Every structure is written in C-alpha cells, then in structure tokens.
Amino acid sequence: MGIKRSISFYSFQQNYYTGRRNLRQLLEVASRTIGSPGIELIPEQMPVGSYPVPSEAAVEEWKGWLTEYGLTPTCMDSFIDTMLYRDRFLTRKEQVAMMERDLVLAKRLGFPVIRVLCPVRKEVVEASLDLAAKHDVKMGLEIHAPMTIRSRWITEYMEMVQKSGTKHAGLIIDFGIFQMRPPRKALENAKRAGAKPEILDRICALQESHRPVGEMMAEIARMGGGDVERGVAASLARSVFSEPEWLRDYAPYIQHCHGKFLEMDEDCNETAMDYETPIRILKEIGYDGWISSEYEGQRLYTGAEEADEIEQVRRHHVMMKRYIGE
C-alpha cells in the first residue's frame, strides 16, 4: 500500500543507445545498484525479444529476469503513430488496432497499465475500453506539459471516462507539470556561454511565479540580455505549471506517475521540479501506486560531457524515499 518506487528505462536511453548496457544489464542496475522495486519499459526503445510480438521464449526469459532481480513491472509506454503513412492519418479503427497491439503485449510482459500519449484522442481510448477490459490492462492518458491537469483536453477526456464508468481508463501524472525553475545544469551552461547571472535570476523568479515566456523575453530585452538568456527562456516554453492541489480533482483515477526530472544535485534534490508538495498531496489523497523515475537531463550535456544516468536515478530514488517516508 502507498507510494512505491519504480524506474522508467527511458532514463537509461544513452546507456542503451551507445551499446554500453543491454536490457538485462539495466535490469541488474535497477535492482542491485539502485534498489528499485519497480520498472517501467518502452518496448519500442528496448524490445523484449522483438516488438510488437515477441516469441514465447523471449517472454519467458523476460519473466525469468524479473524474478531473478526481484522487479515488478509497473507501466509500459505505448505510442500511436498516427502519421504511419506519409499521405494520410490513421483512422480511428487503425489507431484502436495499435492500442490493442500494445494492450496484448503489456499483458504478456506483465504490465498492468499502459501509458497513452497525451495527444491520443479520447475517442480512441473510448473505442478501446472493451479491449482493455478484455485483456485486463489499464490505459492511462499522460498529463504532460504543456498540458495541465485542468486543460480542456483533460477535462473532456475525464468526462468520457467518468461517464463510461470504466475501471480501465484513467490518468498518468508526469511530474514535469510541476517544474518550478530551469535545471541547474541549464543555468550553468548558460553562464559558461556568457549569460548575465542577474538576468538568469530574473528568469528563475518569473518561472517560480508561473509567468509566461513572453514576459520573460520582455524582461530579458529590458535588462540587456542576448541570445543565451533568450535560449534559456525559450527552453521553458513548454513548461506550464499545474498546481499540485489539482491532483485532488481526479484522485481515484490516477493510475501511475512519471517522476520526470532534469538534474539531481549532490544532496539528492531535484533542481527543476517540485517534488515535496505533489508527493505530500498524493499521500493525502491515498494514492496507492508507483512513481517511475524518468530522467530527461541527457540533452543538457554537450561536447565531451556526458550525463551519468545511473547516478542521477540513484539520487532520485534517495529523494523519493525521503518524501515518501520510506
């Protein structure tokens, strides 16, 4: 019961891409190095056998690894490529077929929930409700910035879910909606590129009070900033803040959380997102589920520097334990 720790393997994308570690080795890291009880997978990124239909042998091997490392599958990330063909969008029927393909795979791999990408239309989820019930896998629409918990897209989707009475559709919360400031690494990069510290401070202050990027740009111009400062502000364009209190709106429908993060400092604090308040509220509303660490700071490193994905996730778990009270 309560909040449990998981890792989205999205966090380890660089390790996998460069061939440094394969899926099995990453499972070992998740379990032995980080001590995570749960894992989340994007099977199109790190296929179990092959995607979308692995062999029985591959599925058995996967289950063996999970047992060996004591890991619980928490959520599987699904995509619906509506632009599969150059000249037309997929029809609703075709999109539902893709949804079913992923529901079936999730069932086989042991995942109880699939992440449905934010832009997937509610009509597609609605038309997939019977399939989700049949395979007994839940669909969670991800609330991801620049969407907020109170965006019309979410309101209309939740009207459909509540009206249907389904137990197989709900929400996944991405902690990127609680971003309070640029990650420390982005500010360090900007300073190194010649940004004025007082302008960066101003940008941070404006973001903490949830002011729009347009206002930041005007301030940067007024204070004599240039391209570097404008670049920092522009990087925040998709960061739209949701009040953590809004988590109460749909409490029984929250199926899973992505603990999106950009940079953990040496004391295991996230430098961009608020974690303390949302986790406190999740506890208050009785959230009984997982938070998967989802590290996305790789892109902040350029040139010879490389992100240390494993150390970043380790620190994130130290922080989560602190706030969960584990």
Interface with another protein (CB under 8 A)? 10, 13-14, 16-19, 42, 44-47, 51, 79-86, 117-119, 298-299, 301-302
- Between 280 and 299, name the residue whose CB sits nearer to another protein: 299
CB of 32 to another protein, least distance (A): 23
- Residue 145, both tokens: 């910035």
Please name the amino acid found at residue 262. Answer: L
Q: How far apart are CA 249 and CA 285, in angstroms?
A: 10
Closer to another protein by CB, 171 or 180: give it.
171
Phi, psi of 200 (to 5 degrees): -65, -40
73 close to 109: Cβ distance less than 8 angstroms: yes
Residue nearer to another protein on the CB measure, 16 or 261: 16
Start-end of H helices in 51-142: 56-69, 92-109, 122-127, 129-135
Closest distance of CB 314 from another protein, Å = 20
Identity (one letter) of the amino acid at 97? A
Q: Give the shortest CB-50-to-another protein separation in angstroms.
A: 8
Smallest separation, CB 209 to another protein (Å): 29
Report in angstroms how near the CB of residue 302 gets to another protein at its nearest: 8
What does the DSSP 8-state code read for residue 74? Answer: E
At its nearest, how many Å lie between another protein and the CB of residue 89? 8
Nearest-approach distance from CB 53 to another protein, in angstroms: 10
Contacts of 36 (CB under 8 A, 6+ apart): 5, 6, 7, 30, 71, 293, 317
Residue 130 zone, left/alpha/beta (φ > 0; ψ -120 to 50; rest): alpha
- Residue 80 or 247: the one with the smaller Cβ distance to another protein is 80
Q: Judged by CB, which is closer to another protein: 176, or 278?
A: 176
Task: Return the C-alpha torsion angle 60, 109, 69, 42, nearest 10.
Answer: 130
C-beta of 119 vs 194, nearer to another protein: 119
Strand segments (E) across 82-199: 113-116, 138-143, 169-174
Number of C-beta neighbours around residue 237 at 10 A:
14
> In this complex, which beta carbon is closest to another protein, that of residue 301 or of residue 323?
301
